[in-house]
Structure 1
Amino acid sequence: MRLPSGTLRYHERGTGPVLVFVHGYLVNADIWRKLVPLLASDFRCLTPDWPLGSHDVPMDPGADLSPPGMARLIADFLAALDLRDATLVGNDSGGAYSQIAAAEHPGRVGRLVLACCETPQCTWPPTPGGFPLLKATAVHPLPYWALYQVLRVRRTWRWRNTYGWLAKYPIDGVTMRSYLDPVLTRPEIRFDGRKAIGSVSARYVRQAAVRLARDFDKPVLLAWAAEDHVFPLSHARGYAETLGAPLHTIEDSYTYLSEDQPERLAQVLRAWLDSPDAKPS
């Protein structure tokens, strides 16, 4: 799909109310591969490969991939498909981008689901696991390239500062290669990744949170891993209270709920989307 910032690849499955999934940094639409089949019988599931370092199609060189730019990209995607009343489902930093998009471009957003992501109490990148190094090395192509070379070795995938604190259980090799090969082998993808991770800041989430609490009058759900090491459950509890939103906890999972517990996440989403709480006021 051609958008003002460049070409965005996306995948579509199912029919019914629209769910638009927003993944985080250094993964792609494969993060939803277990979840979408559990929802597609009743929902139209759209899973873009957002330009966050694991995408196949580079954006235009001048594309704005800062948090506000990513929020605009989400809004442009909804507009290009003429989607109305879409449910944004954001995980990891995709939840941060979803919050900003819902706060700044609410017109086509009907509901917001935040699944283990930045809250106003979190840093961005999150401090646990040493993830701020991702932003620090983005200032120059060479350290950014060097940082990721260790991921050529399979055993590093389970380190806590790579994917080990994001997925409780090992991710299969084919999927991991889809995440890592673009950033390891393609300079134009690293260029997009540097722009994205190098521009993140907690202030964007905090500003969005104020606007969501004050102005966003549409249903919001928080779905959180009980064992999340990166985005503490205590932060989610406070944020849910601020937003007046329900919080559902999911056992036996880390941040990547759709990876560790897709069946349970699908149950939570279905139950909420079918409930009176998820109906527009």
Structure 2
Amino acid sequence: MKTIELSAGTIEYEDTGGTGPTVVLLHGLLMDASLYHGVVSELSADHRCVVPTLPLGAHRHAMHPDADLSLIGVAHLVVEFLEVLDLSDVVLVGNDTGGALIQLLLGRGTSARVGRVVLVSCEAFDNFPARVTGKTLALAGKLSPLMFGLFMQQLRLRIVRRSPIAFGWLTLHGDATTAKWIEPVLRQPEIRRDAVRLLRAAAAQAELLDEAAEQLPSFDRPALVVWAANDRVMPPEHGQRLATLLLRSKLIEVDDTYTLIALDQPTQLADLIRQFATAWPAHRARGERGFCEPPRP
């Protein structure tokens, strides 16, 4: 893992290098870059994959005490990350809360370096914090950092980790990975402090994604919406609504997966990203409206 110094603190990231299309992948709450290990292993032969570990509770470098750890603050940190690495025309992918961050970027007009987006089963509209999983974390965020750490200790037990209040409805096959995600918040007091600040800020801004949705039709570049067909945390109808709001978009539903498609079906997600990354022109022709189909051979 490489590191980069941003205004909020030190961010770890993976960068495979290469000359192919640049894909930047954003993870969710209490997750890190390992969410995309399977996807990156499939894509890295012909794409440059860049995966930051954002300060969303599973990071290993504490942020500055005055860092803005609201979701808007983290979204701006993504913009800063792209700018400092001078990444442009990127395919920006977000699963779970990573998709919420993308919506905030698009809704605030800070997407100049983004050529196209992939929203993968994510929070949207009024589903924030997301159903029982997100609401449990939001309640836990009201605790002091010390008590929050004691609460999180329960997730050492697989039976708790696999319950709906934790990761049980987020992934079918990824328990070994989720067990590693909770280690920083259990071991590092500074990470617990960051996590509590983040959760409290998120709970205080529950209307953010409804507001961001109003601005999504202004995004004029290609968008792919990938959703778990039987998602229990992110309603499938939200995927349909997002695809309707994004003017140049396509919706694909995936079977045999929960919310974390990047973890449960990495090969299929990588294939979808690969097809999408070069299939449609990134920018509209003058006067063009609506969805742009891939060019015919």
Alignment TM class, shorter chain as reference:
over 0.9
Q: Which residue of structure 2 aligns with residue 112 of structure 1?
A: 117
| Structure 1: runs of 5+ lacking an equivalent | none
Residue 135 (structure 1) aligned to one of 126, 133, 138: 138
* Cα RMSD after superposing both structures: 1.5
Shift of 1:91: 0.6
Q: Give deviations 1:111-148, integer Å, cap 9, x for gaps.
A: 1110000122x321112x34312112213324422321
Q: Which residue of structure 2 aligns with residue 246 of structure 1?
A: 250
Secondary structure at 1:37 match in 2? helix
Q: Which residue of structure 1 aligns with residue 290 of structure 2?
A: none
**What TM-score, normalized to structure 1?**
0.93
Q: Give deviations 1:80-120, integer Å, cap 9, x for gaps.
A: 00111112101101110111123321111111110000122
Shift of 1:45: 0.5
Bigger drift between 5-14 and 194-203 goes to 194-203
Q: Give deviations 1:229-249, integer Å, cap 9, x for gaps.
A: 100111211221122321011
Secondary structure at 2:105 match in 1? helix
Shift of 1:2: 0.4
The structure in which a higher percent of residues are helix is: 1
Bigger drift between 243-252 and 132-141 goes to 132-141
Secondary structure at 1:159 match in 2? coil
Secondary structure at 2:65 match in 1? coil
Instruction: Report if the CA contact (8 A) 1:102-1:109 is conserved.
Output: no
- Once residues 24 and 196 of structure 1 are traced to their aligned partners in structure 2, the CA distance between those partners, rounded to angstroms, is 12
Q: Give deviations 1:209-247, integer Å, cap 9, x for gaps.
A: 21221x221111101111211001112112211223210
Secondary structure at 1:280 match in 2? coil
Residue 206 (structure 2) aligned to one of 197, 202, 206: 202
**Structure 1 stretches of at least 4 aligned residues deviating more than 6 Å after TM superposition:** none
- Once residues 62 and 78 of structure 2 are traced to their aligned partners in structure 1, the CA distance between those partners, rounded to angstroms, is 16
Instruction: Report if the CA contact (8 A) 1:14-1:42 is conserved.
Output: no
- Once residues 158 and 139 of structure 2 are traced to their aligned partners in structure 1, the CA distance between those partners, rounded to angstroms, is 24
Q: Which residue of structure 2 aligns with residue 255 of structure 1?
A: 259
**Residue-pair matches, total:** 275
Residue 187 (structure 1) aligned to one of 186, 189, 194: 189
Residue 9 (structure 1) aligned to one of 1, 12, 26: 12
Shift of 1:168: 1.4
Q: Which residue of structure 2 aligns with residue 95 of structure 1?
A: 99
Instruction: Report if the CA contact (8 A) 1:19-1:43 is conserved.
Output: yes
Instruction: Report if the CA contact (8 A) 1:102-1:112 is conserved.
Output: no
Instruction: Report if the CA contact (8 A) 1:158-1:170 is conserved.
Output: no
Q: Give deviations 1:254-275, integer Å, cap 9, x for gaps.
A: 0010111111111111122231
Q: Which residue of structure 2 aligns with residue 216 of structure 1?
A: 219
Instruction: Report if the CA contact (8 A) 2:27-2:97 is conserved.
Output: yes
- Once residues 40 and 20 of structure 1 are traced to their aligned partners in structure 2, the CA distance between those partners, rounded to angstroms, is 12
Q: Which residue of structure 2 aligns with residue 55 of structure 1?
A: 59
Secondary structure at 1:48 match in 2? strand
Secondary structure at 1:164 match in 2? coil
Instruction: Report if the CA contact (8 A) 2:156-2:179 is conserved.
Output: no
Identity of aligned residues (%): 37
Q: Which residue of structure 1 aligns with residue 278 of structure 2?
A: 274
- Once residues 265 and 136 of structure 2 are traced to their aligned partners in structure 1, the CA distance between those partners, rounded to angstroms, is 28
Shift of 1:192: 1.1
- Once residues 188 and 209 of structure 2 are traced to their aligned partners in structure 1, the CA distance between those partners, rounded to angstroms, is 30
Q: Relative to 1, partners in 2 of residues 1:179 and 1:192: Cα closer, same or farther, differing over 3 Å?
A: same
- Once residues 170 and 72 of structure 1 are traced to their aligned partners in structure 2, the CA distance between those partners, rounded to angstroms, is 29
| Aligned residue runs from structure 1 range 141-160, under 5 A | 141-160=145-164
Q: Which residue of structure 2 aligns with residue 125 of structure 1?
A: 129
- Once residues 161 and 133 of structure 2 are traced to their aligned partners in structure 1, the CA distance between those partners, rounded to angstroms, is 14
Instruction: Report if the CA contact (8 A) 1:126-1:231 is conserved.
Output: yes
Q: Which residue of structure 1 aligns with residue 173 of structure 2?
A: 169
2:29 equivalent to 1:25: yes
